[in-house]
Structure 1
Amino acid sequence: MTTCIPWRFGGTKTQISQQVPLAQKDRTVPRAAMYAVSGGRALADAINGVSDLIPLPFLSAFVDIAIKVLEACEEATAIEENLMDLQDRVYELMLAVVNTVPVNRKVSIALQDKVRRLQFILDNMLLDIAKIKAQKKILLLFFHNLNKDRVDRCVNRLKAALEQFTVVSQLQVEDLLDKIRADYSAFGAQLNRIEDAVNQTTQPHNAPSAYPRQDMPPTARRLFGREALIDEIASLLSVESTSRVCITGAGGMGKTSVALAVVESAPITTTFKKEYIFWIPCIEAKSSDLLRRILYAQLRITAETYDSLDALIDELNATKERRLLLLDNFETPWLSGQDRDKIVHILQRLAALSHVALLVTMTSGFTPGDIQWHQRPLAPLSAAAARAAFKAKYQDSAGGQELMEDGKELDDFLASIGYMPLAITLAAASGGRLRVSPADLLRDWRTAGIGILSGHEILSMDETIRVSMERGVVQSNPDALTLLAILSMLPAGTTGKNLRWWAPSIASPFAAVQTLRAAALVEQDDVSFPTARIFVCPTIQSYMSQQNRISIEIRDQVHDACYKFVLDHRSIPDDHKFKDDLAALATEGTNIQGLLMDVDVQNVRPNAVDALIAFGFYQSWTKPSAKLASHTLKIAQAANNDPHVVDSNAAARRVAEAHRCLATNFFALDRFVKADKHFKEASDLFKNVPEGTDLPLSGECLMELTRLWRYMKGKGNDELDSCVREAEARLSHNEHERYYVARAFLGLGEHLYFRKRRDESIECLSRANEIFRELNCPASAGRALYYMARAYAALNEPDKALLVGRDALAKSEESGELGLICRSLKLVARLFMAAKRYEEALPIITQSVTSCQSQGGPIGIAQSLELLAYNCAARMDLAGARIAYEGAQAQFAKRGSTRLGKRGGARCTENLEKLRSLSGLDQESFVNLTKFVPLY
């Protein structure tokens, strides 16, 4: 035990000079009242532990009432500073009573009466102090004298009481402790707590305060995927010039966990002494006043008044020894308080101390105040880290049982919740406790959404999001929550430029986004607002989608905006704006897909069917999908069957268009049988439209049927000839419609090519190309040139074939139609390879593989990979040839029921068998490989 007690508890000035560093000698020594509450509470705890054994029945009750008076004085000091003197007297009285207790003999009746009278005095004092506390500061001018009189009377009463115990005003605590230690040696363990409480006052920033002090939370046992970030932040904080770090991000990203891990890291524990690392929990600091009091409490500093930060700054500035302040959950004072200017002032005063490192965590997208922060936005975990975190938490919750089902379902589930750490932890915990598989979690997420992410040991996702939405900064902008609802309906987010489409009623989308980013409710992936993607994370999307948080009016508005966006960018490959429309639709493709799939047959809004059809065709030209096209047909048929339909012909025409759209997607996906059915349905419906207005569209469907039948290889030439003639007649129904007349020439020229009437084919295709060039229709012109090049190659005119083929590729790329680009690339590559110009063919083949993969049809991908394999073999690249043939073989197998799939797969298998027996390639082994068919 120490023998030197600080002067503020009654020690001598000599003792002070021995304890206080030289740099601190000139500073004002805190008064005893500042420590009365904490010291008294420690004394009370110790006395309560032994009071039953001390022969004074009312000792515990007396100490308890004394503590209440001390605390009441502390709370009322802001009104009447004279109460500090009263605190001194109460504390002295409490020590005096304990000092007067006799040991091992009966307590006199007189002493008991004295204690009862003292308790009565303290009870009355509580009433006086309560009257003072009830006043507001603004009344101080009127009640100051009254307060002073009340306090003076209390002090006088206590002074008289103390004199009865013959205790001097400067009571020596050191002597008291010696007496208690000697008299009550049997209770040493409990009484040591008293001495410890006193001794702690000699430690840095270790004093009682006006706000309950909280201990730093424990560090997470293990963090996944944050190791590099933790090391980086620790390194920044360790250097004074970079020691202002702010971790930002959405709620549930693990900002506090990362910050606590930083505090525990080796660079921090090496740079900062343990007693100079302080955790400042700001989650309840909804005002600058509360923030100041929490700072005083957590730094263990007291002051005569907490209305100023001066005492705290002086204490921090007393020495230049480095300190670290972790201001956790700083979004509360910054975003919820009404006095941000005062919060800024506090933050700036702390930041002005170069030796004090600041680590701030905020549920926000921005840093607070005009300070040179090193901002570290906390992103979701990587897929690998998310998987590891989920499996570890699952195992803990399952009593050590490992997760066995960790395949694609787990990856899909983690992606669906956005790889958010809190969501992963909650899902894994509930999954582990109930032994639920990732597949079950994924299914429940799709039906119940964020409702599955609840728990007892951790704040639920619902609560985390709700708190962010109720921040003062969000409530102050009436457009913010409206925009949040709109963005929550867009799974892929949108660009700043396109916000005007989705939210036409928002006065300032920029201001609304800024507000939502401040509360970390939306994210922005680029600094340039027009091109940046602004999005809501999956957990917030799920939260907003439940309990009618998005109104019917907003839902209808977003759907109408979707239909308008699609229809304003509706075009065909021969339109001059087709490429621009493709690019625009691509920026919103995922959102449009989701909203159009949400169209209900029971509630088909105006323009919904037209938008579905237009977007279905867009997908057939870019990334074919039968899912949305099938949904389109279902909606179109429901609208057509509506007894309240106004224009029955228009409704029937939409059904025909939906059939054609679905057939086109099936054709692009090499699902030929299904495509055949829907092309026939579409052709018949278009034919039956009154006055023959849609006969050209019926002819288009028949031309597609002839192309389809050639792939299917199930029709004879007579049937093909008949279908082409009928298609040509319907396309040319109106000779003044030159576009459809040219389309008839195009279809006939293609057919004649396959009938091996190449000269006639070239003549028809040339006429078509001439009209298409006049009409500025690049896609149809490119298609005509494509078959012309093939015809020239078949006529053994390779130079002309390559010249026309390159022209076809240029026109295809001008149009932007991906399917036509893929075919043109493969043709030009074949023509180069036929001329044995393998090096020139290679980059074109590579581009072909990439383009075909983007389109998604297995046959196109397989053909490009087979070309690549043959090209590798020609260049004596044995390993490359094997890999490419294996890839082509796998793609052909996906369409093994078709003629192209069977023949292509057989060629690849045969060539792979030949290559596997070789240790190297030479010209002879290359010549023995089976060539791809057809060459052109």
Structure 2
Amino acid sequence: MTRYFGRYSRGGASKSKSTTELRLGDNLSDANKQVIPDSSSYTIETVRQLADTVKSAASIIPVPGLSTVLTVAIKVLEACEEATVIEENVKGLHQRVCKLMLAVVHTVSKETSQELQGRITSLQSVLESILADVDKIKQQKQWLLVFFHGLNKERVDKCVGRLNAALEDFQVVGQLRVEDLLDKINTLLGKIKADSSTTAAQLDRIEDTMNRISQPHNAPSAVLRQDMPPPHHIFCGRDGLVKDTASLLTITDTSRVCITGVGGMGKTSVALAVIESVMKKGIFQKEYIFWIPCVEAKTSDLLRRILYSQLRIPAESYDSLDRLEEELKVNSKQRRLLLLDNFETPWLSNPGQDQANVRDILVRLANLPHVALLVTMTSGFAPGIGIRWEHRPLLPLDPAAARVAFESKYREAASNSGRELAGPDLDGLLNRPELDELLTSIGHIPLAITLAAANGGDLTTSLGDLLRDWKKAGTAMMPGEERLSMDETIGLSMERPVVKSNDDARTLLAILSMLPAGTTGANLDWWAPNLKSLPTAVRCLRTVALIEQGSGPFETSRIFLRPTIQSYMSHEGRISAEIREQVHDACYKFVLGHKSIPDDRKFKDDLKALGGEEINLQGLLMEIPIDAPRTDAIDALIAFGFYQAWTKPSTVVASRALDIARVKHDGRLDAAARRIAEAHHCLGRTLHRLDRYDEACPHFEEARRWFENLPGGADLHCAGECSMELSDTWMYMQKPKVEIASLVQKAMTDLSHDKTERYHVARGLFRTGDFLWWSQNQVKALESLSAAKAIFEELDCPASAAECLFSMARTHASEGNYLKALLIARDALAKARESGEARMIFDILNCMATYLILRGSHEEALVIIPQLLTSWQALGSPLCVGQSLELLAYNCAAMMDLPGARAAYTRAQAQFAKIGSTQGREDTTRCSRNLTSLERVAEMDPNIFSRLEKPVPMY
């Protein structure tokens, strides 16, 4: 029979080696002491207690020698326990002595005849002879025990034979179970007590002994049952889940609850809080709530043994759950609650037949209607088939709860270390923005929060230092003391057979750990093209909660790792150089495979694809070494910079691209020079879209210069585009018209140098028409814009066609023809949406809202403007946000909404103040004057509205 190496020795609560620590070289006697007791172990405690009670009840059961017999029996049992070399024979002898002693008490409880006294005297003689034989075996040297094994076996067999005769003498059938004897003894003693009230006090001790032995879940044990740990005193952000789970356990139909999640998410903490809640509410009585620690139950056999031990149910064999199931059915009126904690150990340690055995145990427990199950698992799935689970995946704490948990633990650790700071000093230390950054970087995971706060509080480490330690060392900065460290917690999942036996799963884990935002099932083909079965690998990693999967179908759901696991994988060389190179290759190919411009029909889909992987792509691209970059890496970096300029401009990637392109340039290669030109162009456009016009101009100028002087010949089309964007920037900066006109003329010349390139010719016409509109030469502007639009529509270029229509609408609006402007703007909006160029869509909507206001359609405008505000804020343009707020303020004033107008003007003024150009200063001043006018009045009226300055431009 397989032995269970538990936490305690038979002697009590002294610590012992865990399962993983026991090796073949360990002392066998130490291991044997850790066996979970079988029914005979329970019964030796019964005999000991009976010996004491019989001595005090001699007047009630006047049988001379009874106490002596029990004392000798105990000595025999103890001798048997020590003579474990001939294990099976001695075990049989041990069990028969136990049964015999119970039979004696059972018989004595019914009769006290002279004949019985004789049988007891005879029994004493038998026991003394057996004790002598067992002592002889014990006294032999180790080598004698081996050589005389047969002789000793025969000696024990004779002892068993003598005991069999004694059992027959007391009319006990050999197969009679210990449990039945206990029940009968308890019943007979109860009758004696009822018949004689004078002996009640003396019988109480005997009856109490029998009750303690025969009560459900209260049998004596040679191994101390592990007590349920108390709820954690720092427990934040889970009240709703605790209440929900307790409610589920209340109802029989929903009383199978499984809490799953990544290691360190606080599953056990939640479960213990639920236990405390149901006890306080009286849903379950305390004596019928059982904690089943499964962390060391690596086989189904060990799981059964732990169940028997924790529920204190005696059994002659642990090969079956029958005895436990029978016991749980006896008192069916009392509801029980079993918390199977860390159930991933038995469930995942031995895939195959043993897992089927574990499933059978779980199903049998779940089939008991009065037994509620609360299971915690480091997994993504609830266990078992055929069980109706209420599955509750555990998510990270919300930011507010995470902050409370960190602060509480930090203060406690500081106090316990004797380094407690004065209240204001500690408040100042904790109330810093670095705390939010730290909590976000560790994913708001409870164990990570606790360990980081404890380590920081011990030395009153600053949050900045903790954050630096996290970025440098990752989960290694979170050692455990009372709990497992973060690395150990993750390592347990990594060591599960389901992971260790699956090469694809380990490869996928390494790949996903390099993607901080995770990815979709569909995009996994980009990142992991060489795996045999992606869904199988995903399921394998989800089984051990190393990765998580969002809702929805596999193709569209997001598959990701928590930050703690990403950090764990990124240290100690856990990701091979081969996989790193493969992931970077995939990144460059992904970006370049989705490289397009707004006039390409695939541009809209490319934006969506890049947007879905933006965080991953940026993270990987920023890892490109500045001193030895690959050429495809630079190309991808520049292409991604342009993508961000069209979506949400950021100088981080564009600046990095320029730095690397400059290093790679050796003064000879045309390709290297072109990359420098493109990088300057990308950074110039990014700065322009962030309304940083003064900073954008030098980059447009440099880009134009590089394109004009490429070693292999000038690229005048690209140089002309840079000139056009520079002229657009100068218009925002309100440079002299003559300077802008000269620049536009040069750009037009460059773009149109090859008349057969109609697309570039049309781009020159559009930019010229846009400048003419700005110069208020409306007639020529419309001619140039109309000619460009016709070419773009013929070439099927939706973005450029939308730009032409947009400029045409503004041209009509500047002449006061708002209805026509509105109709053309709607055509422009349709084209822009075909392209997917977000900034163009928002520009057009902004103008449409303006035209609606000018036509008096204030309610319609009020529908558009709030949507615009959200969109511009997402793009990060202070100018556009300010213009929308000013438009909202003006519309509120037109609708006689004085408070709304004041609030919007105040916010618009703040946005314009962020822009360092002449236009920004003028816009700020205009809003300030209007705000001053509105603050002087108590209520709005048409006369006050008519004196307000209109937003610029109103076309």
Q: If the length of structure 2 is used for normalisation, what is the TM-score?
A: 0.82
Deviation for aligned residue 1:36: 3.4
Opposite residue 740 of structure 1, the aligned amino acid is H
Over residues 192-241 of structure 1, what are the superposed CA-to-partner deviations in whole Å (9 max), with x where a residue is unaligned? 99998876324322224586521111111242111111111111111111
Cα distance in 1, alignment partners of residues 287 and 142 from structure 2? 37
Which one of 298, 317, 321 corresponds to residue 286 of structure 1?
Answer: 298
Q: Could you tell me which residue of structure 2 aligns to residue 85 of structure 1?
A: 96
2:89 and 2:156 in contact (8 A); partners too? no
Cα distance in 1, alignment partners of residues 136 and 447 from structure 2? 52
Q: Could you tell me which residue of structure 1 aligns to residue 940 of structure 2?
A: 921
Q: Could you tell me which residue of structure 2 aligns to residue 668 of structure 1?
A: 689
Corresponding position: 1:466 with 2:491: yes
Opposite residue 430 of structure 1, the aligned amino acid is N
Cα distance in 2, alignment partners of residues 133 and 518 from structure 1? 50
Deviation for aligned residue 1:31: 10
CA 1:309–1:681 in structure 2 vs 1: closer, same or farther (change >3 Å)?
same
Cα distance in 1, alignment partners of residues 718 and 85 from structure 2? 88
CA 1:197–1:538 in structure 2 vs 1: closer, same or farther (change >3 Å)?
farther
Cα distance in 1, alignment partners of residues 371 and 143 from structure 2? 41
| Aligned counterparts, 1:146-545, within 5 A | 149=154, 151-155=156-160, 200-208=212-220, 213-266=225-278, 270-320=282-332, 321-338=334-351, 339-370=354-385, 371-399=387-415, 401=421, 403-404=426-427, 405-545=430-570
Corresponding position: 1:653 with 2:653: no
Corresponding position: 1:707 with 2:728: yes
Provide the secondary structure at the position in 1 that maps to 2:282.
helix
CA 1:122–1:366 in structure 2 vs 1: closer, same or farther (change >3 Å)?
same
Which one of 619, 636, 643 corresponds to residue 661 of structure 2?
Answer: 636
1:495 and 1:533 in contact (8 A); partners too? yes
CA 1:286–1:79 in structure 2 vs 1: closer, same or farther (change >3 Å)?
farther
CA 1:754–1:73 in structure 2 vs 1: closer, same or farther (change >3 Å)?
same
Provide the secondary structure at the position in 1 that maps to 2:330.
coil
Q: Report how many residues are paired.
A: 837
Q: Could you tell me which residue of structure 2 aligns to residue 70 of structure 1?
A: 81
CA 1:285–1:123 in structure 2 vs 1: closer, same or farther (change >3 Å)?
farther
Deviation for aligned residue 1:277: 0.8
Which deviates more, 845-854 or 255-264? 845-854
| Aligned counterparts, 1:813-832, within 5 A | 813-832=833-852
Cα distance in 1, alignment partners of residues 692 and 52 from structure 2? 82
Over residues 847-904 of structure 1, what are the superposed CA-to-partner deviations in whole Å (9 max), with x where a residue is unaligned? 2212211211111111111111111111122222222222212211211x21222112
1:83 and 1:151 in contact (8 A); partners too? no
1:825 and 1:847 in contact (8 A); partners too? no
Opposite residue 691 of structure 2, the aligned amino acid is D
Corresponding position: 1:730 with 2:746: no
Deviation for aligned residue 1:448: 2.1
Provide the secondary structure at the position in 2 that maps to 1:376.
strand
Cα distance in 1, alignment partners of residues 206 and 239 from structure 2? 43
CA 1:91–1:650 in structure 2 vs 1: closer, same or farther (change >3 Å)?
farther
Q: Could you tell me which residue of structure 1 aligns to residue 699 of structure 2?
A: 678
Structure 2 segments unaligned to the other structure (5+ residues): 1-36, 54-70, 105-125, 168-173, 175-180, 187-203
Over residues 274-304 of structure 1, what are the superposed CA-to-partner deviations in whole Å (9 max), with x where a residue is unaligned? 1111110000011000000000100101111
Deviation for aligned residue 1:933: 1.4
Deviation for aligned residue 1:718: 2.5
Cα distance in 1, alignment partners of residues 530 and 721 from structure 2? 42
Cα distance in 2, alignment partners of residues 161 and 259 from structure 1? 52
Over residues 693-738 of structure 1, what are the superposed CA-to-partner deviations in whole Å (9 max), with x where a residue is unaligned? 521001100111111111223x322221221111111111211111
CA 1:681–1:33 in structure 2 vs 1: closer, same or farther (change >3 Å)?
same
| Aligned counterparts, 1:712-723, within 5 A | 712-713=733-734, 715-723=735-743
Q: Could you tell me which residue of structure 2 aligns to residue 784 of structure 1?
A: 804
| Aligned counterparts, 1:10-21, within 5 A | none
Deviation for aligned residue 1:786: 1.4
Opposite residue 670 of structure 1, the aligned amino acid is D
CA 1:744–1:201 in structure 2 vs 1: closer, same or farther (change >3 Å)?
same
- CA RMSD of the aligned region, Å? 3.6
CA 1:68–1:593 in structure 2 vs 1: closer, same or farther (change >3 Å)?
farther
Cα distance in 1, alignment partners of residues 750 and 938 from structure 2? 59
Q: Could you tell me which residue of structure 1 aligns to residue 831 of structure 2?
A: 811
Cα distance in 2, alignment partners of residues 604 and 357 from structure 1? 60
Provide the secondary structure at the position in 2 that maps to 1:574.
coil
Deviation for aligned residue 1:68: 7.1
Provide the secondary structure at the position in 1 that maps to 2:391.
strand
Cα distance in 1, alignment partners of residues 531 and 39 from structure 2? 59
CA 1:92–1:805 in structure 2 vs 1: closer, same or farther (change >3 Å)?
same
Provide the secondary structure at the position in 2 that maps to 1:245.
strand
2:727 and 2:740 in contact (8 A); partners too? yes
Deviation for aligned residue 1:784: 1.3
Opposite residue 743 of structure 1, the aligned amino acid is R
2:268 and 2:376 in contact (8 A); partners too? yes
Deviation for aligned residue 1:567: 1.0
1:248 and 1:255 in contact (8 A); partners too? yes
Which deviates more, 865-874 or 444-453? 444-453
Over residues 57-107 of structure 1, what are the superposed CA-to-partner deviations in whole Å (9 max), with x where a residue is unaligned? xxx9x98996474377699569965552155679999xxxxxxxxxxxxxx
Cα distance in 2, alignment partners of residues 310 and 579 from structure 1? 64
Which deviates more, 295-304 or 789-798? 789-798
2:265 and 2:395 in contact (8 A); partners too? yes
Deviation for aligned residue 1:269: 5.3
Opposite residue 324 of structure 1, the aligned amino acid is L
Cα distance in 2, alignment partners of residues 884 and 573 from structure 1? 33
CA 1:802–1:77 in structure 2 vs 1: closer, same or farther (change >3 Å)?
same
Cα distance in 1, alignment partners of residues 266 and 75 from structure 2? 42
Over residues 579-618 of structure 1, what are the superposed CA-to-partner deviations in whole Å (9 max), with x where a residue is unaligned? 1111111111111011111111234235111111111100
Q: Could you tell me which residue of structure 1 aligns to residue 647 of structure 2?
A: 622
Opposite residue 906 of structure 1, the aligned amino acid is T
2:38 and 2:315 in contact (8 A); partners too? no
CA 1:147–1:363 in structure 2 vs 1: closer, same or farther (change >3 Å)?
farther
CA 1:882–1:197 in structure 2 vs 1: closer, same or farther (change >3 Å)?
farther
CA 1:735–1:306 in structure 2 vs 1: closer, same or farther (change >3 Å)?
same
Q: Could you tell me which residue of structure 1 aligns to residue 610 of structure 2?
A: 585
Corresponding position: 1:559 with 2:584: yes
Which one of 36, 43, 46 corresponds to residue 43 of structure 2?
Answer: 36
CA 1:132–1:435 in structure 2 vs 1: closer, same or farther (change >3 Å)?
farther
Cα distance in 1, alignment partners of residues 205 and 681 from structure 2? 86
| Aligned counterparts, 1:849-928, within 5 A | 849-895=869-915, 897-928=916-947
CA 1:892–1:123 in structure 2 vs 1: closer, same or farther (change >3 Å)?
farther
Provide the secondary structure at the position in 2 that maps to 1:271.
coil
Q: Could you tell me which residue of structure 2 aligns to residue 111 of structure 1?
A: none
Opposite residue 925 of structure 1, the aligned amino acid is I
1:812 and 1:820 in contact (8 A); partners too? yes
1:364 and 1:517 in contact (8 A); partners too? yes
Q: Could you tell me which residue of structure 1 aligns to residue 779 of structure 2?
A: 759
Provide the secondary structure at the position in 1 that maps to 2:538.
helix
Opposite residue 788 of structure 1, the aligned amino acid is M
Q: Aligned residues: percent identity? A: 54
CA 1:147–1:208 in structure 2 vs 1: closer, same or farther (change >3 Å)?
farther
CA 1:727–1:316 in structure 2 vs 1: closer, same or farther (change >3 Å)?
same
1:483 and 1:503 in contact (8 A); partners too? yes
CA 1:228–1:305 in structure 2 vs 1: closer, same or farther (change >3 Å)?
same
